[in-house]
Amino acid sequence: MKQTTAFALLLSLGTAHAADKMGLLKATWQPLCGLTTELGQLPGEALLKTTNYLTTADELYKESLRLQIFGLAGGSGLDADAALTLSAYLASTAAALRVTLQGIELSKLLKTATLAAYAKGRLDEFLNVASTTKEGSNHGCLLGSGNSPATITNALIDTVPCNLAPPEVRPALRQTQTITGNGVSGLRAPTANRGDHQHSSKNCRLFSRGNGEGLGKDANLDATTITWAAGYIHIRADRNDGKVQLADLNKALPTGNGDISAWTQLVQAVADAGSSRAPEDHNETANLEGSETAAAIVARIKENRNDGTLTNAKAAISNLFGAKTASKPNKLLAGAHNFQLAEKTAGHEKGAKLGDISDMGQLEVLLAAVQAKLIKDQARLDKQLQEEKEKQTPKSEDKEKVCNEAKDDKDVCDKLEKQGCVFNKDGKEGEKCTLSENAKKSSKRSRKPRSRERWQNRNHKHHRKQFFCH
């Protein structure tokens, strides 16, 4: 009975000691290969989100340019007002997106990418070193199938894909989503039972500070702890037992022995980046009647006030776009896309559709050409108005000259009575035949020339035909 008890005690002690300073089981290290792949894809995801912000802002601004051109050269009446107002809203939204990206989102995304790169570097460092410690079939830090020591070959560790090379950064979402604001899922449960993580007899020097089976040469290392993978793997070196402890990363605030701040910060950064509003959600064109931004813009344009809100500007929005605003903006956008140039303009051939011009710079140039044409036409309009005024309103000075031709001859002057001439015997010598006061006043009351508004309407219709055909 005593022999049996003693044997059981020895067996128990041997089993407890068997996992000390030993290599990791496949179930422990295999999830780390998937994790390093995902960490390598986080910078690309950050790049994609950055690109989405810029692309969305650019597309909104290009729509704004098309609407400006349409409003100036293709629209009329209320449609022109609505097109130009919608253009201002889209341009403002595009600018706000860029400000949001530069002031808030970019720092979040760069922080996520930076922390992911750091964590991957620390994790890859461990996997690379651990996968090169194979010593025949006896010892090694990573154990594969059949608990044989495994090494890395062609980015595979015991048939497990484990690419430790620098990743290609391209704009794309991660293929897996185990890293979230709630922690890192899919890793080995951080149990305190060392037998769950390590083999019973395959030694690994990376987990010991001793000079016999560890990292020391003549004596134990001075360090009181050994950590790998940015603190995910932790060994209490002061005990010199080589017992691996794993941090619990599967929570919003990861916990573990020692410094795991790299993982804590990464989880928080992913949470912050994930809480951001999608760039396309900033465009409220489909619901302008519920947009405070639209209310502020409409109030400035239509009511010349700087305190526009949905409370005081909703009626103005409805007047421009209707009670249900999604329909009118969509029609304006479609109309702007489908308008065709009626003649070659700014280098674009006749018949070119605005919607087919996708280069922002070319749209800017086309808008400038339209504006220059409007300025030129306005100058021509002013000149025509002045010429018509001069034709339709003879100057009293010209009438005075007709009277003065009679000089001091009363008989001749009397014959010019219908032209407003009267004889003033007390007048200046040689100019006694002069224009009467009534005639002078009548000259000023001559019929008015065509109004500027009529000229502008005529000019706008001509301008529209010149630029576009539907």
pLDDT in tens, 226-257: 899 999 999 876 666 778 889 999 999 998 87
pLDDT exceeds cutoff 70 at 456: no
**Is residue 321 helix, strand or coil?**
helix
∠ CA 253-256-259, rounded to 5° = 90
Residue 444 pLDDT grade (very low, low, confident, very high; cuts 50, 70, 90) = low
Least confident of 203-217, 285-299, 332-346: 203-217
Residue 435 pLDDT grade (very low, low, confident, very high; cuts 50, 70, 90) = confident
Percentage of residues of the chain with pLDDT beyond 70: 85
Instruction: Give the model's pLDDT for residue 8.
Output: 35
CA-based torsion, 335, 340, 88, 104: positive or negative: positive
To the nearest whole number, what is the mean pLDDT of the chain? 85
pLDDT exceeds cutoff 50 at 145: yes
**Is residue 364 helix, strand or coil?**
helix
- Closest C-alpha to 123, from 55, 43, 31, 42: 31
Residue 388 pLDDT grade (very low, low, confident, very high; cuts 50, 70, 90) = confident
∠ CA 92-96-102, rounded to 5° = 145
pLDDT exceeds cutoff 60 at 155: yes
Domains present along the chain, CATH in parentheses: 11-274 (3.90.150.10), 342-390+451-470 (no CATH), 394-445 (no CATH)
Residue 75: both structure tokens together: 């629209």
pLDDT exceeds cutoff 70 at 453: no
Cβ atoms 443, 394 nearer than 8 A? yes
CA-to-CA distance for 224 and 245, rounded, in angstroms? 14
Average pLDDT on 461-468 reads 50
Average pLDDT on 282-308 reads 92
pLDDT exceeds cutoff 90 at 195: no
Helix, strand, coil percentages (3-state) for the chain, rounded to 5, are 55, 10, 35
pLDDT exceeds cutoff 80 at 7: no
